[in-house]
A and B are shown apart, each in its own frame.
Chain A
Amino acid sequence: MLIDTRTPDPKKFINGATGDWEIVIGMEVHAQVTSKSKLFSGASAEYGGAPNAHVSLVDAAMPGMLPVINEECVKQAVRTGLGLKAAINHRSVFDRKNYFYPDLPQGYQISQFKQPIVGEGTVILDMPGETVEVGVERLHLEQDAGKSIHDQHPTMSFVDLNRSGVALMEIVSKPDLRSSDEAKAYLSKLRTILRYLGTCDGNMEEGSMRADINVSVRKPGGEFGTRCEIKNVNSIRFAGQAIEYEARRQIGILEDGGAIAQETRLFDPREGVTRSMRSKEEAHDYRYFPDPDLLPLEFDQAFVDALAAGLPELPDDKKARFIADYGVTPYDAMVLTLEQASADFFEKVAKGRDAKTSANWVINEFFGRLNKEGKEISASPMSAEQLGEIIDLIADNTISGKIAKDLFEIVWLEGGNPRELVESRGMRQVTDTGAIEAAVDEVIAANPDKAEQAKAKPTLSGWFVGQVMKKTGGKANPQAVNEIIKARLGIE
């Protein structure tokens, strides 16, 4: 049933005492659907809220309450399916997954088991030196559970049902991932796609996106091994750490002649280890059956087509367009398209300007500065127009690249019109050759020994460039300075 789509790659092997091992990873990602109300009730789906405030009597599973499905959640699932280039099932069925837990008042979760709303799709990963195609097995709609708080009382747990009944999409991948880096790239790419589509906010800290990670190891290219499932990993970094730890744990057991017990484990970020969740194992019998309260979910191709027509440009398409239209490198295109807001910002800056220069400034200076301050692009103190103006000032030789960085700093911290700032603060670069020549002559006259050395060894002329730049307060055009120094010293 499980098909191996990958060719074993020695670069990804883990070296054990008995030779190489290959990791096999598949993921189940739970993504909270962006909607105003819950999947089957009219209570608010908003995060937070006072205890049990976002709860209807349907969510609390009071007797006689009946679920009515939210059309927007269905549309969001279909949009996501289209974004994953997946098959959309015009008919799907809701089932009850039965288990007992205090934060599950119904005693079952409404989910989709045999007939999910979305079938097989694909996620493309850009890894260094290769493109990895990860199969999506399915996507189905289901209800979230409530929340239990265990640390407020010595003998009691507190239960808040505000999350109960909020719509989730469970996105199940095929076991196509072969390293923790690929697993992290998969989560990151999935998050990017969901955020572009607007179907999930991808906020892992608030739990809007979390992953159950299936990990097994095998001899390269061999039979799939027994897997363990690491539950509820809520950050991309933790996913990487959990997989690395778990793979090595399994290799250790196998190399000692042991066998892997199929089980559910939890990752402890403080210790960096995974631990068995022994207690729940016994009861894993969900006795799925079709929910008699709900008819099959049916829609026609016109419904799907209308949603397809309203989709935004997706990350892969945008990336391809950036490479083709702007001539940026695949890596830069990937960075620029990680977030829709970043891509929009770049396009505003690049409009009518040199695309590569624009990409460099947006990625290195602008994103670099945002990261340093931990700011989202929406909270940036600098607009695309301001950054574009700085780039124009370099292009028309008003300022040098070095001065531009100082100007960037001023605009970032104080705001204002870059061109006016250059004038009011006297930052305009000196292109007047006479003035530069005078400065060069002065420096050469003051350092006759160094001038002699530079004549013999032209690489030393760099020292003169530095001195002249210092003398002119950094405002001389570095290219002009370089040329004049070479002419004066008589070096090629």
Chain B
Amino acid sequence: MSVDTATVRRVARLARIKVSDEEAERMTGELNSILGFVEQLDEVDVSGVEPMTSVVAIKMRLREDVVTDGNVPEKVVGNAPVCDDDFFMVPKVVE
């Protein structure tokens, strides 16, 4: 598998990362060498092997349904560049 510059641009846009033509060009090469490296794994025959989801065999813990958190709006909006009346304020996003 390999990617072209157009794919790199598309992935960058989906991730909201601005890349210049020059950077896109460079990253195409870098990404392809990473993909090539990972592709070596294809040589291993994994037919019949369950995908591993955790290094230790544990089950997911479940939490009791009780309210234990919240009521900290000042902490929630504490790092926001702009806020008002405990709301986050962002550039208008409606068309």
Q: What residues of chain A have their CB less than 8 Å away from a CB belonging to chain B? A: 35-37, 41-44, 50-58, 60, 68-74, 98, 100-102, 148-150, 153-161, 279, 283, 285, 287, 290, 294-298
Contact = CB atoms under 8 A, between A and B. Distances in A.
B73 A100 contact: no
B31 to A, nearest CB: 15
A53 B73 contact: yes
Lowest 5 A-B CB distances belong to which pairs? A42-B68, A72-B65, A43-B70, A56-B69, A42-B69
A112 B69 CA distance: 25
Interface residues of B, number: 36
Contact of B93 (A52, A53, A102, A294): A102
A369 to B, nearest CB: 38
A279 B86 contact: no
A294 B59 CA distance: 10
Nearest to A69: B62
Given A44-B67, A295-B58, A100 B16 contact: yes
Interface stretch (B22-30, B41-49, B75-83): B75-83
Given A51-B85, A150-B93, A295 B54 contact: yes
Nearest to A51: B86
A100 B54 CA distance: 28
B93 A101 contact: yes
Contacts of B94: 148, 150, 157
B64 to A, nearest CB: 6
B14 A283 contact: yes
A51 B70 contact: no
Interface of B: 14, 16, 53-54, 58-73, 75-77, 82, 84-95
A294 B60 contact: yes
Contacts of A69: 60-63
A296 B61 CA distance: 10
| Interface residue SS majority, chain A | loop
A295 B60 CA distance: 5
A89 to B, nearest CB: 14
A71 B64 contact: yes
Contact of B70 (A54, A100, A102, A157): A54
Given A37-B67, A68-B63, A150-B93, A290 B53 contact: yes
23 contacts: A36-B65, A37-B68, A42-B63, A44-B67, A50-B86, A52-B77, A52-B86, A52-B87, A52-B88, A55-B72, A68-B61, A70-B63, A71-B65, A73-B65, A74-B62, A102-B90, A148-B94, A156-B92, A158-B89, A161-B88, A287-B14, A295-B58, A298-B59
Contacts of A296: 53, 60
Given A55-B70, A56-B70, A156 B90 contact: yes
Residue from the set A35, A57, A154 with the largest chain B CB neighbour count within 10 Å:
A57
A70 B69 contact: no
A158 B70 CA distance: 19
Given A150-B92, A290-B53, A70 B65 contact: yes
Nearest to A33: B65
A154 B91 CA distance: 10
A160 B87 contact: yes
B67 A42 contact: yes
Nearest to B10: A285
Contacts of B75: 57
B62 to A, nearest CB: 4
A149 B60 CA distance: 36
B90 to A, nearest CB: 4
Nearest to B74: A52
Nearest to A146: B88
B65 to A, nearest CB: 3
A50 B95 contact: no
Contacts of B63: 42, 68-71
Nearest to B85: A51
Contacts of B93: 101-102, 148, 150, 157
A37 B69 CA distance: 9
B6 to A, nearest CB: 14
Contacts of A159: 87-90
A310 B50 CA distance: 35
Nearest to A102: B90
